[in-house]
Amino acid sequence: MKIKVCKPFWSYDVQKTEEWLSSMSEKGHELIELNRLTRYFIFQQGEQRKRLYKIGFDKVQKKSLSSFLSHNGWAMVLQSGNWYVAANDKPSNEIESYPVRENIIKHNKKIMYLFGSIFIYLTVIVLFYLLIGFVLSSKVQFGFVKSPLWIISFLSAGMGIMLWALSFYSITKIKGSNKRLLGESNHSLESNDSLESNDSLESRQEEERPSREEIKQLRRSGQIVVKRKYAWTYAPDKLEKWLETMEENGLHLYYVGKTGATFYFKKGTPRKVSYCAVYQNYIDEAYYTFHKEAGWKQIYFTPFNFQIWTLWSHEYAIGEEPPHIYSDKSNQLKHAKRIAATYSCISIPIVVVHLLKIGEYSQLLHIQNFDLSQMIQLLLGILVIFIFGSLTIRTWLYYRRIRSL
């Protein structure tokens, strides 16, 4: 006898799914198949037993687990696309190794980026129309016009609300799940004495951040110079070069504002400092420790969930070779390509939607004259296309510069 259970959002929280699979095994339901498209788990009746399940994600599909995991009692139960489910009949206190979670975190991050861009876009669009309606309410008389296609308007609005709610749910669910997975990974590393501390990068940065009073006092005494750099994440190599030039001119980077756009420099003597802006898919404490031991200092860490940027610095003597985090060009090129691809996935859908809207307006122009609200919408649509289009082009120009090095 087979049992089918639908779990639409099982991949958003794999730890909860694993616990559920273990509870099903205790009831005598043995997992035999997973349909990724229909989101169905298929079980067959078997013997009741305690079993630990772990879900993994790997683009390189393998028919079996590594020998290291196999020796620890893990066995491949099934594989569906890039997803696989492994099981272990040993008690948890006897298991020394577990399947890695890094690829799941990366995969879920991509989904969160997608829904994040949809959520931001829908929210901005709604706020924009509310603002336009509020501004024009005193100048334009609004009313409802009967139309045989009214049902399309209601269906579109309903679908928009459902998509907004799905985006919000996906973002919050994946964010919490990834945080727990990272905690699980860091706990595993700490148990092997691989990390010195379990403090997060965010809390560490809060401890090192100077107080407002200290900054105000330094500004009043003329020791601080404030500069601003907006949208530097779309061309991080230019930011690195700019910071290195400022150091050579005797302006030492003292502090970066929370948003990452304001840079505070302290006046001093010229020195040689190498900077590197690194984009990551997730927070990795081991990564921080590795660079810290290599002499790099973390200057800034983004507080945002959709994009994790870390700014590193490394002082060196005159005449020495400048240190680099990416000593291998292939890794540097891969990093640049990931940045360009990530921002393109966010910007291109927004550009395409506004291009389609402008196409609709051009068709209406042949039928009727534009009123003030339609003209404002058209101009703002062109502005959105220009902003997001130019930012996307900047990322690919950055990739091109790295490739030509």
The DSSP secondary structure of 156-223, one letter per residue, reads HHHHHHHHHHHHHHHHHHHHHHHHHHHHHHHHHHHHTT--S----HHHHHHHHSPPHHHHHHHHHTT-
Number of domains the chain is built from: 4
HSE, CB side, 13 Å, CA atoms: give it for residue 402: 26
Whether 339 and 274 map to the same domain: the answer is no
Whether 125 and 180 map to the same domain: the answer is yes
What integer is the mean pLDDT of 248-271? 93
Q: Which one has a higher pLDDT value, 61 or 278?
A: 278
Whether 108 and 209 map to the same domain: the answer is no
Rounded to a whole number, what is the distance in angstroms from the first to the last CA of the chain? 62
pLDDT score at 158: 86
Is 70 exceeded by the pLDDT of residue 284?
no
291 — pLDDT class (breaks 50, 70, 90):
confident
pLDDT score at 188: 52
**pLDDT tens per residue, range 194-247:** 334 434 555 555 556 677 788 888 888 888 999 999 999 999 999 999 999 999
pLDDT score at 142: 54
pLDDT score at 156: 76
190 — pLDDT class (breaks 50, 70, 90):
very low
Q: Which domain holds residue 76?
A: 2-99
384 — pLDDT class (breaks 50, 70, 90):
confident
Whether 174 and 238 map to the same domain: the answer is no
194, 228, 261 — which closes off a domain? 194
pLDDT score at 376: 76
Whether 312 and 216 map to the same domain: the answer is yes
Alpha helix positions (H), 230-328: 236-248, 285-293
Q: Which of 226, 216, 310 is nearest to 266 (CA)?
A: 226
For residues 270 and 285, the answer to whether their CB atoms sit within 8 Å is no
Q: Which residue has the tokens 């390509």?
A: 337
325, 354, 381 — which closes off a domain? 325
Whether 124 and 168 map to the same domain: the answer is yes
What integer is the mean pLDDT of 377-404? 90
Whether 308 and 207 map to the same domain: the answer is yes
Q: Which residues contact 296 (CB under 8 A, 6 or more apart)?
A: 276, 312, 313, 314, 323, 325
Whether 314 and 219 map to the same domain: the answer is yes
For residues 88 and 75, the answer to whether their CB atoms sit within 8 Å is yes
DSSP H or E stretch at residue 356: helix 329-365
Whether 9 and 40 map to the same domain: the answer is yes
Q: Which residue has the tokens 């490394």?
A: 314
What integer is the mean pLDDT of 249-268? 92
Tokens of residue 324, six digits = 């680099």
pLDDT score at 137: 62
Whether 209 and 241 map to the same domain: the answer is yes
100 — pLDDT class (breaks 50, 70, 90):
confident
For residues 22 and 43, the answer to whether their CB atoms sit within 8 Å is no
pLDDT score at 186: 56
Whether 254 and 338 map to the same domain: the answer is no
194, 215, 232 — which closes off a domain? 194
Q: How does the average pLDDT of the chain come out, rounded?
A: 83
Whether 207 and 177 map to the same domain: the answer is no
**pLDDT tens per residue, range 149-179:** 567 667 777 888 999 999 999 999 998 998 8
